[in-house]
Chains A and B, each alone.
Chain A
Amino acid sequence: MNAPFPPRAKKRLKIATATLGGCFGCHMSLLDMDERFLDLAKLVDFDRSPLTDLKHCGPCDIGLIEGAVCNAENVHVLREFRAQCRTLIAVGACAINGGLPAQRNPLDLSDLMRKVYCDRVDDTAQIPDDPELPLMLDKVYPIHEIVRIDYLIPGCPPSADALWKFLTDLIEGRTPRLDYAHFRFD
């Protein structure tokens, strides 16, 4: 019989997280793991994330994307994540189906911008056009319409338990699965 393979030293995984057009609720849910977050920190290192304040993403094992794709900058960030992350996960309703930001989709974008920025009391009001500002997309897109996605964690936001279950499953090499109580769209 073949001798069993010698156990491999456990590799520390790298995780990156980002919010596109979202409310940071999914990140709050990540923090809502409480002391389990420290257990997570023992297993993984964080690359680009609001927690580390790194601005660009290096090669990573797991990328978590919260929020929908609303503007040109969101597209850049998302493509960078897809290029750098071996496993990319859409987290939360906005990333999965557009969520709240996508509620503008049945409306015309220029009408919307005029309504928000021009129909106000002062006459100088205009639609902001600073070159620093990323351009809005015609529609808000779920992230799977822009890049390939490996997994999705539904919820608005997904509970800390759901995130913990999903991440520990992935880190330990199991196929992640959510039980009924943690499979939620709201």
Chain B
Amino acid sequence: MSEILAQFMLDGHRIAFEPGQTILQAALAAGIYIPHLCAHPEFTPHGSCKLCTVMVNGRNGSACTIKAMPGQDVLSDNPDLNSRRRTLLQMLFAEGNHFCPGCEKSGNCQLQALAYDLEMFDPHFAQFFPAREADGTHPEAFLDFNRCIMCELCVRASRDVDGKNVFAIAGRGRDTHIIVNSPSGKLGDSAFSIHDKAAQVCPVGAILPKEVGFVRPIGERLYDHDTIAEVALREEAGARSGEVT
């Protein structure tokens, strides 16, 4: 009996995987980037942003949650899927207040970098301009809900790594929002610290460290010269070589 090889096809390339890996993890390890936003290598996949949607044997699915299996024929980088990803980005931009020229995270923001990578020229949809609050009560970090995309990375980080449960998602539908676990509901009264994992995982400018604004000038920021694909693959390669040594 011949052994079934741990391989699947991604856009015509044969990708080897380790059993248990998701399609996204296997693709990144093989040096192929699949756009993603709410997925983070250190956290349980969430599958909420749907940016990593791929076609697996003719069906749509999130590459960050589907386990890689032999016999899968996965499509990712094609005009149809990229245009759907662009639409998802446009919806994310339209439902928040993403004013890039006035944001400290600009140039280092994953949402913005994905929009560059997928050539999103405009939000297309009528913008919501929601009235959202900002919270400057914490001495070390600034919380701006205008930019939040509900990826729940801070929720996961605070719960799973920091063990503090500072953040949670409340509300439903377009009223969904992040709440802070403190008597006043303000970040300043919570157990949050700038050294928490939760302070470092925000892919957009919703959680920003104070007193270091615009520390990297234009031209030297993370996504000024390299696309999000190049940066993500470089980080992945760095993490892997770190594992070996």
Binding site for B on A (CB under 8 A): 90, 93, 96-100, 102-103, 105-107, 139, 142, 144-145, 149, 151-152, 154, 156, 178, 180-181, 183-186
Q: Is B132 an interface residue (CB 8 A)?
A: yes
Residue among A105, A139, A142, A184 making CB contact with B122, cutoff 8 Å:
A142
- Identify A106's interface contact among B97, B102, B124, CB under 8 A: B97
Complex Cα distance, B103 from A185, in Å, reads 11
- Residues 123-150 of B, flagged 1 when their CB comes within 8 A of A and 0 if not, give 1101101111000000000000000000
B residues near A142, Cβ cutoff 8 Å: 122-123, 127
A102-B127, A103-B97, A186-B101 are known; give 11 further A-B pairs, CB within 8 A: A98-B127, A98-B129, A99-B99, A102-B129, A103-B99, A103-B102, A105-B129, A106-B129, A106-B132, A152-B121, A156-B101
Q: Are A180 and B121 in contact (CB under 8 A)?
A: no
B106, CB-defined interface residue at 8 Å = yes
For chain B, what secondary structure do more than half of its interface residues adopt (helix, strand, loop), or is it mixed? loop
Chain B stretch 32-56: residues in CB contact (< 8 A) with chain A: none
How distant is the Cα of A103 from the Cα of B107 in the complex, in angstroms? 20
Interface residues of B in 73-132 (CB under 8 A from A): 93, 97-103, 106-107, 112, 115-117, 119, 121-124, 126-127, 129-132
Question: Bound state CA distance, A105 and B115, in angstroms?
Answer: 23
CB-CB under 8 A from A156, the residues of chain B are: 100-101
- Across the interface, name the chain A residue whose C-beta is closest to B93: A97
Interface status of B14 (Cβ within 8 A of chain A): no
Chain B proximity of A21: nearest CB distance (Å): 14
In the complex, what residues of A have CB within 8 A of residue B176's CB? none
CA distance A184 to B131 in the complex (A): 26
Given A98-B129, A106-B132, the answer on whether A185 and B106 have CB atoms closer than 8 Å is yes
Q: Across the interface, do A100 and B102 meet the contact criterion of CB distance under 8 Å?
A: yes
Q: Are A186 and B107 in contact, with the CB atoms below 8 A?
A: yes
**Contact (Cβ within 8 A) B106 A183:** no
B107: nearest chain-A partner, CB-CB: A186
Contact A93 to B100, CB < 8 A, known contacts A144-B122, A185-B106: yes
Q: Please state if B129 and A183 are interface contacts (CB–CB under 8 Å).
A: no
| Alpha-carbon separation in the docked complex, A97 to B112 (Å) | 14
B177 CB → nearest A CB, Å: 14
List the A side residues contacting B126 at CB < 8 Å.
145
Chain A residues contacting B98 (CB-CB under 8 Å) are: 97
Which 10 residue pairs across A and B have the least CB separation, nearest first? A105-B129, A185-B100, A106-B131, A156-B101, A152-B121, A186-B106, A186-B101, A186-B100, A96-B122, A152-B122
When C-beta atoms are compared, the residue in chain B nearest to A96 turns out to be B122
List, in ascending order, chain A residues with CB within 8 A of B130's CB. Answer: 106
Q: Which of A97, A100, A183 contacts B127 (CB 8 A)?
A: A97
Closest to A95 in B: B122
Chain B residue numbers with a CB within 8 Å of A100 are 99, 101-102
Find the residue from A102, A107, A186 having the highest chain B CB count within 10 A.
A186
Question: Which of A97, A139, A180 is the one whose CB lies under 8 Å from B123?
Answer: A97
Inter-chain contact B131/A99, CB cutoff 8 Å: no
Contacts of A97 in B (CB 8 A): 93, 98-99, 122-123, 127
CB neighbours (8 Å) of A184 from chain B are 116
Q: How far is the CA of A180 from the CA of B226 in the complex (A)?
A: 9
Tell me the smallest distance from the CB of A107 to a CB of chain B, in Å.
Answer: 8
Smallest CB–CB gap between A10 and chain B, Å? 29
The answer for the CA separation of A139 and B130 in the assembled complex, in Å, is 12
Report Cα–Cα, A102/B96, bound state, in Å.
Answer: 12
Given known A-B contacts A97-B123, A105-B129, A106-B130, A181 and B112 have beta carbons under 8 A apart: no
Does chain A have a CB within 8 A of B225? yes
Expressed in whole angstroms, the Cα–Cα distance for A80 and B129 within the complex equals 27
Identify which of B101, B112, B119, B129 contacts A99 (C-beta below 8 A): B101
Chain B contacts of A152 at CB under 8 A? 121-122
Question: Which B residues are CB-close (under 8 A) to A93?
Answer: 99-101
A105-B129, A106-B132, A145-B126 in contact; A183/B119 too (CB < 8 A)?
yes
